[in-house]
Chain A
């Protein structure tokens, strides 16, 4: 249950951070938005350590398969397979949103930002681990 809460907090903060950095394209940026975005980044960093690092999940998804036992190989394979599919869905949704925003002329200044690209790289690395953490009820 604790791991699920950490997954929700981690990805919730990631989403909010991107929303904050998107908001600056609509309204005049204020320091409050910057502070909110950076606070979300701090939440991501704080939840990353117990969720992926101390739990050993990072090792499962990033170490060589030779160092894992048969159960670990099995859960990692399943998590990787699921995360490939979900990562593609997330990328397609971002492309769709980008296309809609530009067609509807909602926010003409909007473009793909460095935080968004960084978030996608982060998501690609952590999504398999998030699946493992979500399913681990031990």
Chain B
């Protein structure tokens, strides 16, 4: 079965925290190249890895990953404030 493409906010969250790919990779237990593949949405993580990423950033999984293209976090925030 061909899996669907998963969209994510890993690149934006990592940039916001000012951490390198290597630091994130070490924290979640993967190779730094894998973080690049995740950020470019060329690889769908397992449920375990998705939870490790969400625990690292302290956000729910559904905030970081989605099956639909994600809006920028600023517009999401504006929508919630509205």
Contact = CB atoms under 8 A, between A and B. Distances in A.
A and B physically associate:
yes
Nearest to B31: A69
A70 interface: yes
A138 B36 contact: yes
Interface residues of B, number: 14
Contacts of B29: 69
Binding site secondary structure of chain A: loop
A69 B36 contact: no
B2 to A, nearest CB: 14
Nearest to A59: B31
B74 interface: no
Interface in A107-138: 138
16 contacts: A68-B31, A69-B29, A69-B30, A69-B31, A70-B30, A70-B34, A70-B46, A70-B48, A70-B49, A71-B37, A71-B43, A72-B34, A138-B36, A138-B37, A138-B40, A138-B42
Interface of A: 56, 68-72, 138
Given A70-B48, A71-B37, A138-B36, 17 more contacts: A56-B33, A68-B31, A69-B31, A69-B34, A70-B30, A70-B45, A70-B46, A70-B49, A71-B30, A71-B31, A71-B34, A71-B43, A72-B31, A72-B34, A138-B33, A138-B37, A138-B42
